[in-house]
């Protein structure tokens, strides 16, 4: 693993669900220091209570300054104007962010600096912080998210890729598109916290009360319930198999009218990462019912390997990165195909060995992925940033 660096990480909010970013930075923090920069956003805000509360929380956190949240990790919440389609807003953001972050890194004594960014919106800041290296880690086709200014996101991302010393991508389709703009682009797929999810196999994970009362068999899903989840497909399956229970664990961020009133669909809401193995312990099978569009075709769902590490058989729509796992995942294009696969999975589940499925993920750990990244980084000669003052 690389060591001795002061990493400035642009990512989602630290207190959100542990996505790939947090798994990577927690491991890098064992031998490096990390300043985690809470999300400066890809999406334009809406006039809603949720967005207003989010702005209030960010303003409150900004006033606190860098806060230590774990060994080797400090978090800062900068202020940014989220109208990325506006050139004036981007100029103001650049000045605000650079000033805020330079103050923080002076306070923390950061010297051997590396910017490791997961966000295209950091393009106007990356390279202006005295870095020895800029790393862009692309985990999605960000311009395809709902509510974004597509042209602005693409413009920022292309400028970020051009200035990056190294680009990591988590899916083969992302490799094909991003490598055109930077020859130092590496495909490193998501890992998984195997030990955490294997608790679903060995019985050490307690089963939460809300799912304990739901009758088996249980077809499970966890994660953000957003517009890329095919809820009509879930509703169709639930009506076709009324004797099965369909359990959705996660924050609801889209219209769920299509599943309303379907008695064997249970939407439990967001639950903690620590409790997920307990929910997986009650699942008899897991599903990835994603719509097929440019966003999902470029995605590598983190939950896929988490399902497998929990020993679960998985049925998914035909996303390219899902196909990479071969026979470990069953592919369904229609409701009937999903039902056929789930019928087979449930019949095998009665005599199946969940631990054997989980062990297939041993080679997919986050520790192994971070070592892959470190080898790629050490193979590149970093250059001191030549950028001047903003």
Q: Going by CATH, does the domain composed of 6-191+366-378 fall within 3.40.50.20?
A: no
Q: How many CB atoms sit inside 10 A of residue 323's CB?
A: 12
**% of residues, the chain, pLDDT over 70:** 88
Phi-psi region at 4: left, alpha or beta (left = phi > 0; alpha = psi -120 to 50): left
SS3 content of the chain, % helix, strand, coil (to 5): 40, 20, 40
Q: What is the DSSP string of 196-264?
A: HHTHHHHT-SPPPHHHHTSPSSEEEEES-B-TTB-HHHHHHHHHH-TTSEEEEES-B-S--GGGTT-TT
Mean pLDDT, range 124-132, rounded to an integer: 92
Give the C-alpha separation, 237 to 219, whole Å.
10
> Cα separations (Å) of 283 from 11, 172, 200, 268, 307?
31, 30, 9, 14, 10
Please tell me the predicted confidence (pLDDT) of residue 70.
Answer: 93
Give the C-alpha separation, 171 to 297, whole Å.
9
Mean pLDDT score of the chain:
90
- Three-state secondary-structure class, residue 310: coil
Tens digits of residue pLDDT in 57-86: 555 545 456 899 999 999 998 876 665 556
Mean pLDDT, range 295-304, rounded to an integer: 97
User: CB of 181 within 8 A of CB of 241?
Assistant: no
CATH 3.40.50.2000: which residues of the chain? 6-191+366-378, 194-363
User: CB of 82 within 8 A of CB of 45?
Assistant: yes
Please tell me the predicted confidence (pLDDT) of residue 58.
Answer: 53
Please tell me the predicted confidence (pLDDT) of residue 167.
Answer: 98
CATH homologous superfamily of domain 194-363? Glycogen Phosphorylase B; (3.40.50.2000)
Dihedral angle over CA of 290, 293, 294, 297, nearest 10: 40
φ/ψ (deg, to 5) at 225: -95, 90
Mean pLDDT, range 326-347, rounded to an integer: 96
Give the contacts of 240 (CB within 8 A, at least 6 positions apart): 335, 339
- Per-residue pLDDT band for 380 (boundaries 50, 70, 90) equals confident
Please tell me the predicted confidence (pLDDT) of residue 226.
Answer: 96
**Which stretch of 77-86, 118-127, 220-229 has the lowest confidence by average pLDDT?**
77-86
Please tell me the predicted confidence (pLDDT) of residue 387.
Answer: 38
Paired tokens of 175? 């490799």
Q: What is the DSSP string of 312-379?
A: --EEE---HHHHTTGGGEEE-SSHHHHHHHHHHHHHHHTT--HHHHHHTTGGGBHHHHHHHHHHHHHT
- Per-residue pLDDT band for 7 (boundaries 50, 70, 90) equals very high
> Cα separations (Å) of 244 from 276, 319, 346?
20, 25, 10
Does residue 44 surpass a pLDDT of 70? no
- Per-residue pLDDT band for 95 (boundaries 50, 70, 90) equals confident
């Amino acid at each position: 693993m690389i060591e001795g660096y002061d990493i400035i990480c642009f990512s989602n909010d630290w207190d959100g669900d542990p996505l790939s970013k947090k798994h990577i930075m927690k491991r890098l923090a064992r031998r490096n220091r990390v300043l985690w920069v809470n999300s400066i956003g890809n999406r334009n805000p809406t006039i809603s209570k949720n967005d207003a509360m989010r702005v209030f929380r960010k303003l409150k956190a900004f006033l606190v300054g860098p806060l230590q949240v774990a060994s080797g990790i400090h978090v800062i919440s900068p202020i940014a104007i989220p109208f990325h389609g506006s050139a004036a807003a981007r100029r103001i953001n650049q000045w605000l962010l650079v000033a805020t972050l330079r103050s923080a890194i002076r306070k923390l004594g950061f010297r051997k600096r590396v910017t490791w960014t997961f966000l295209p919106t950091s393009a106007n800041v990356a390279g202006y912080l005295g870095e020895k290296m800029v790393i862009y880690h692309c985990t999605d086709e960000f311009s395809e998210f709902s509510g974004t200014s597509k042209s602005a996101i693409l413009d920022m991302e292309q400028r970020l890729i051009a200035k990056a010393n190294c680009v990591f991508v988590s899916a083969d389709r992302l490799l094909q598109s991003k490598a055109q703009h930077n020859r130092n682009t590496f495909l490193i797929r998501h890992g998984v916290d195997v030990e955490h999810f294997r608790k679903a196999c060995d019985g050490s994970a307690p089963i939460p009360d809300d799912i304990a009362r739901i009758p088996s068999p249980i077809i499970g899903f966890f994660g953000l319930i957003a517009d890329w989840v095919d809820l009509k497909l879930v509703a169709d399956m639930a009506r076709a198999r009324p004797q099965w229970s369909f359990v959705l664990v996660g924050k609801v961020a889209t219209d769920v009218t299509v599943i309303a009133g379907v008695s064997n669909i249970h939407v439990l809401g967001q639950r903690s990462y620590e409790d997920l193995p307990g929910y997986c312990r009650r699942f008899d099978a897991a599903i990835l019912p994603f719509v097929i569009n440019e966003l999902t075709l470029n995605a590598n769902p983190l939950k896929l390997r988490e399902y497998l590490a929990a020993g679960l058989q998985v049925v998914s729509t035909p996303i390219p990165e899902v196909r990479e796992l071969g026979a470990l995942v069953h592919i369904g294009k229609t409701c009937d195909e999903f039902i056929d696969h789930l019928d087979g999975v449930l019949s095998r589940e009665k005599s199946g060995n969940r631990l054997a499925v989980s062990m297939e993920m041993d080679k997919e750990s986050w520790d192994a992925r971070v070592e892959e990244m470190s080898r790629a980084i050490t193979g590149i000669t970093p250059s001191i940033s030549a950028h001047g003052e903003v």
